[in-house]
Amino acid sequence: MALVSTPATLERAVPVMDNAEVLRIRNDFPVLNQLVNGQPLVYLDSGATSQNPVSVIEAEQEFYEQRNAAVHRGAHHLAVEATEVFEDARQTIADFIGADYAETVWTSNATEGLNLLSYSLSTAGLWAAQGRGDQGLKDLALNPGDEIVVTEMEHHANLIPWQELAFRTGATLRYIPIDDQGSLRMDQAAAIIGPRTKVLAFTHASNVLGIINPVRELTALGHTAGALVVLDACQSAPHLPLDVKELGVDFAVFSGHKMLAPTGIGVLYGRQELLDILPPFLTGGSMITTVTMERAEYLPAPQRFEAGTQRISQAVALAAAANYLTETGLDRIHRWEAELGQRMVAGLEGIPGIRVLGPAAGKARIGLAAFDVEGVHAHDVGQFLDSQGIAVRVGHHCAQPLHRRLGLTATTRASAYLYNTTDDVDRFLEAVAGVRAYFHA
């Protein structure tokens, strides 16, 4: 299974996507068939939020039209059907990432999943000290002198929860630096990850640099040190084959809205033996076995972490999105997006006054490119492109430390998906080529 788009893997015998197929795929996405400022929409902001195919929209609509009821709480017909499709969706997502059914927890988004982990780990020591839960909690508890390791390229969602965990427990937060091209300093990683490391959290693919990180190598370093390994898969799960068991990580998170699904739904994967002993994050109904006026006993995972009314229709729609991606073929999607990403970077590098972040053309990356235009602020670049019907992202992309390390405050980011064509990329490049002249830079 190819998880990195190197020249060798791109030559594998994977059925090739082309513009003709992509144009057929685009017909499944109603929002793309419109004019913006009098121009056909070119949507290059899927790294932030992807669009929804008709099958996903219909899956959520069909739930409300035919099966709307609370899950796990009723014996009537609609409640039973709602529970069945809800749990079927869980199995679909578990299969999608190579996990077991009970290792797949619904969250509102990846950010909630990471906060869930951070909070539960900070509570583990308290539970262990009071004799609550499994004795294995002592091994998970963080204390002064322990270390949490992240990377310098992390999205704020995979940085701030760990900052707060360090604050609550007295642990120390450390980070693996990047070099001037944005790659992790793996020589320093081996020195930073050590006996005091209790948590190692890092992104699979950078939402700014487009880099695909060496997950297995980092995971091996973490496990050798006895650390829990947490993977931010937000920019990988929608775009390339993901097998959490094969990668060996202990936890992983991703969001539905980046992989053709609605907002308000995300997934936390965790190894069963870890999820079953972690203290819950939110408490209330639907996640308990016995309640007295003094205390409560909690269900095993995944219900242990799913208090209250769940995101039922969104989970059903996320399963439909996973099926859409599986049927299209994630190997094929990854290869097509890698081609688009290379086309973007090569084109941008040929435009005077443009600095592209991350790997140069010809080096492996996912289908996105963040860049700086000399003399023009990123927000102005974004507005200029929007005037020509091209949607991109501007700002620091929730990665201020990364931008600061590279000497920037903001960049413009174009991110492709399975519904983008080479013509989309060429229109984007043609527009970028006119930015500096337009602003007299």
Distances (CA, A) of 225 to 129, 194, 228, 328: 24, 5, 9, 39
For residues 141 and 128, the answer to whether their CB atoms sit within 8 Å is yes
Spatial separation of the C-alpha atoms in residues 65 and 353, rounded to whole Å: 53
Spatial separation of the C-alpha atoms in residues 233 and 366, rounded to whole Å: 13
HSE-up of 316 (CA within 13 Å, CB side)?
Answer: 22
Distances (CA, A) of 207 to 29, 74, 204, 373, 378: 23, 42, 9, 19, 16
Spatial separation of the C-alpha atoms in residues 377 and 355, rounded to whole Å: 13
Spatial separation of the C-alpha atoms in residues 195 and 188, rounded to whole Å: 15
Q: What does the chain come to in residues?
A: 441
Spatial separation of the C-alpha atoms in residues 352 and 371, rounded to whole Å: 12
Q: At what angle do helices 378-386 and 422-433 cross, to 10 degrees?
A: 120
**Which position has the token pair 């409560």?**
296
Beta strands in 221-303, from DSSP E residues, in sequence order:
228-232, 251-255, 266-270, 288-291, 296-298
Reduced to 3 states (helix: H, G, I; strand: E, B; else coil), residue 413 is strand
- Count helices and strands in the chain by DSSP H and E runs: 17, 17
**Which position has the token pair 């829990």?**
228
Residue 84 amino acid letter: E
Q: Which of 69, 299, 398, 408 is catalytic?
A: 398
The answer to whether 234 is a known catalytic residue is no
Beta strand 35-36 with 39-40 is antiparallel
**Any idea which residues carry the catalytic annotation?**
398
